[in-house]
Amino acid sequence: MAGNLSRSNDLRVGQGLFLKISTALCVLFLLAPLVVLIVYSFNASRQVTVWGGFSLKWYVEAFLDRDLWTAIRNSMLVAGISATLSTILGTMTALALGRYTFRGRSLCTGLLYVPVIMPEIILGIALLALFVMLDLPRGFVSVLCGHITFSFPFVALLILARVKSLDRTMEEASLDLGASPWHTFCHVLLPALAPSIVSGLLFSFTISLDNFVVTFFTTGPQLTTLPMKVYSMVKFGLTPVVNVISTLLILFTGITLMAITWMQQDGARRRLGMRLGLALAAILGISFVVSLVSEARQTNLVIGTWAGYMDPSLMDDFESQTGIHVILTYFNDGEEMLAKASFGNPGFDLIIPAAYAVETLRELDLLAPFDFERIPNIEHIDPRFRHLPFDPSGQYYIPYTYGVTGLAYNSEKIKEPVDSWRILWDPRYQDRIAMFDDMLETFHLAHRLLGYDMKDADPAHLDAAYELLLQQKPLLRKYESNLVNDMLLREEIYFGQNWNGNALRLIADHPQFKFVIPKEGSLMFADNICLLKTAPNPDAAHLFIDFLLQPENTARNIQTIQYAMPNPDACLLLPQELRENMVLFPPLGDMSNLQILPDYGTFLPKINERWVRLKSE
């Protein structure tokens, strides 16, 4: 009866078809991305958005990736400790603000909102500036401080709301019954605050776990968290490994929530929940201890690089040979590398910059020359790479990888021979063409087709190049850099500018695609290993480079990361089909037709201005 009454009193919005449909849509929008994510973690294809059959290989790959697990461990550790400390600090703050009157109380309450409202990036920069000023080494402690800074106000505000709504007579009753203030705090106040303390803990754990910006600014080379690792992996093409990590995280979160829910129930469920919670805690605890113990050792060598850019098994071998532990830490782009290498005392030994960055780093006087006496294996390096234009002396860099921008196309759709960039201007293929979403790649190509060199920095040439690109624009499907492979595979485009390493991954699974370096020539990249002046451990760095350049090791590295390296002796050790792979090792000739991207300096803003204009046309 009461139920009927209350129902006839409500707004009758709970009954219509509209409500059912909108509820279903809400749930769908909420869950659809997660379902897609989980399904694609079982994708056999390398492409994140193209289904290629069921497979568990990405799970295997994820489980074997040592760096990934280190990143997960780091994230859990940072999130766990910062959430615990934030919760303790937040509870104390909330009690102080909610229970006591003192001068400046409202100011303190207001200040709590500052980290909540302030854009994270400002907080990140402010923390970085502070840590540099205090000369606090960036790493675990600084990240922890950063995370506590932004997460404890959330906890404090959450608990403060609860403290304010709390009836004080409960505490008075306890004191009245003869319980000391401490006993009262433990047995009356804490249980009353428990729900908001638990949600504060979970909340701060989550925001700390997926924090990127503050971590980015406060971390040092020795600490990579999961979000940073994932972001860095994205740079080298999203693989379903990212889906695997996400699926595992969803599973972990789900189990945790289930354990918490069960713990609040009675009887068998509660015991089950307790066991589940204990098991989770035990697994986490053991893996933390194991990984910490295995890391708390000897000399370290810190290398700043891109994710997936060096075979991790080589690090293990190097470690077992020399006892030097190698820590790989990841950048997301060249700008980040430059920034981090030049700011304060960065803590890296070796970094792997692109050609133009070597120039910049040298100008900033951040590099130390190598002592080739201590690197006998330098003799295996292709002489064409020893004195590249960005450092003719050849003392400040060790050539690491190289690659070429070429043209990837679908040979099932294009029957005519493809040997010229001009085909990208062919109106027959309107809407089937993609160019890189990258101003240097596109303008370099246009200059080259017009017979100019962009390094001349001639505005007239630039205008001509702009006109050429403008001509091409109506034919383009899109300017796109990261998803060229996916677009080719879905046959949205037949042609696309592509890097050879990227094309290699596509062609390995789908042989109908071809890769050529058109006869007009192209842009080439060469990544290099450089030694920082501030390197804490230059001896280990020399040892490591000599180890890396041994042909057997370079060969292994090439096979793992699938990038060409200028080490002919190593190439001889590769399996035949890899050695003769024209995509992995495009013919370079005397390299006169290939240009390594230089630092365009003051010409860059002009290129950028044309590029912005072009894209907005």
Partner 1 sequence: MLEIKDVSKKYGSAVAVNSVSLRIERGEFFCILGPSGCGKTTLLRMIAGFERPSSGRIRLEDTDITDIPPYQRDVNTVFQNYALFPHYSVFDNIAYGLRAKKCPAAEISDRVEQAIALVGLSDLATRMPAQLSGGQQQRVALARALINRPKLLLLDEPLSALDKKISEQMRYELADLQAKTGITFIYVTHNQAEAMTMAHRVVVMNNGCVEQCASPTELYQRPATRFAAEFVGSMNFFDGTIEPMGGDTDTFGILLEGQAHIRRRGQADGKPGRSVVFGIRPEQLRVSLLEPKEYENGLFGQITRHVFMGDATQLQIHLQNGKLIEVKVPNYLLAGDLVMALEANEQVWVIWSQGSGVVLYDV
Return residues touching partner 1 (CB under 8 A).
167, 169-170, 172-181, 183, 187-188, 191-192
For the bound state, the minimum distance from the C-beta of residue 274 to partner 1, rounded and expressed in Å, comes to: 18
| Between 170 and 612, CB nearer to partner 1 | 170
| Between 183 and 275, CB nearer to partner 1 | 183
For the bound state, the minimum distance from the C-beta of residue 167 to partner 1, rounded and expressed in Å, comes to: 7
Of 383, 502, 380, whose CA–CA distance to 434 is shortest?
502
| Between 16 and 195, CB nearer to partner 1 | 195
Of 473, 475, 474, 499, whose CA–CA distance to 485 is shortest?
499
Q: Are 19 and 456 in contact (CB under 8 A)?
A: no
Q: Are 597 and 354 in contact (CB under 8 A)?
A: yes
Q: Residue 71 corresponds to which tokens in the numbers above?
A: 């990143």
| Between 23 and 265, CB nearer to partner 1 | 265
| Between 129 and 194, CB nearer to partner 1 | 194
| Between 193 and 523, CB nearer to partner 1 | 193
User: Could you give the 3-state DSSP secondary structure of residue 358?
Assistant: helix
For the bound state, the minimum distance from the C-beta of residue 103 to partner 1, rounded and expressed in Å, comes to: 16
For the bound state, the minimum distance from the C-beta of residue 311 to partner 1, rounded and expressed in Å, comes to: 56
Distances (CA, A) of 359 to 12, 245, 393: 70, 37, 12
For the bound state, the minimum distance from the C-beta of residue 187 to partner 1, rounded and expressed in Å, comes to: 8
For the bound state, the minimum distance from the C-beta of residue 170 to partner 1, rounded and expressed in Å, comes to: 5
| Between 180 and 345, CB nearer to partner 1 | 180
For the bound state, the minimum distance from the C-beta of residue 207 to partner 1, rounded and expressed in Å, comes to: 28
| Between 64 and 194, CB nearer to partner 1 | 194
| Between 172 and 316, CB nearer to partner 1 | 172
Of 504, 509, 492, 445, whose CA–CA distance to 472 is shortest?
445
For the bound state, the minimum distance from the C-beta of residue 263 to partner 1, rounded and expressed in Å, comes to: 15
For the bound state, the minimum distance from the C-beta of residue 189 to partner 1, rounded and expressed in Å, comes to: 11
Residue 523, beta-bridge partner list: 595
For the bound state, the minimum distance from the C-beta of residue 99 to partner 1, rounded and expressed in Å, comes to: 14
Q: Are 140 and 222 in contact (CB under 8 A)?
A: yes
Return the percent helix, strand and coil in the chain, to nearest 5: 60, 10, 30
Distance (Å, whole) CA 314 – CA 548: 8
Q: Are 308 and 230 in contact (CB under 8 A)?
A: no
For the chain, what is the radius of gyration of the CA atoms? 29
| Between 167 and 577, CB nearer to partner 1 | 167
Which stretches within 264-333 are classed as H helix?
A: 267-295, 312-322
For the bound state, the minimum distance from the C-beta of residue 136 to partner 1, rounded and expressed in Å, comes to: 42
- Residue 504: which residues within 8 A CB-CB, separation 6 or more? 515, 562, 581, 583, 584
Q: Where are the beta strands (DSSP E) in 428-585?
A: 433-435, 476-479, 495-499, 513-516, 522-532
Distance (Å, whole) CA 558 – CA 555: 5
What letter does residue 138 receive in the DSSP assignment? Answer: S
Residue 326, beta-bridge partner list: 301
User: Could you give the 3-state DSSP secondary structure of residue 495?
Assistant: strand
Give the number of other Cβ atoms within 10 Å of residue 275's Cβ: 12
Q: Are 45 and 488 in contact (CB under 8 A)?
A: no
| Between 191 and 389, CB nearer to partner 1 | 191
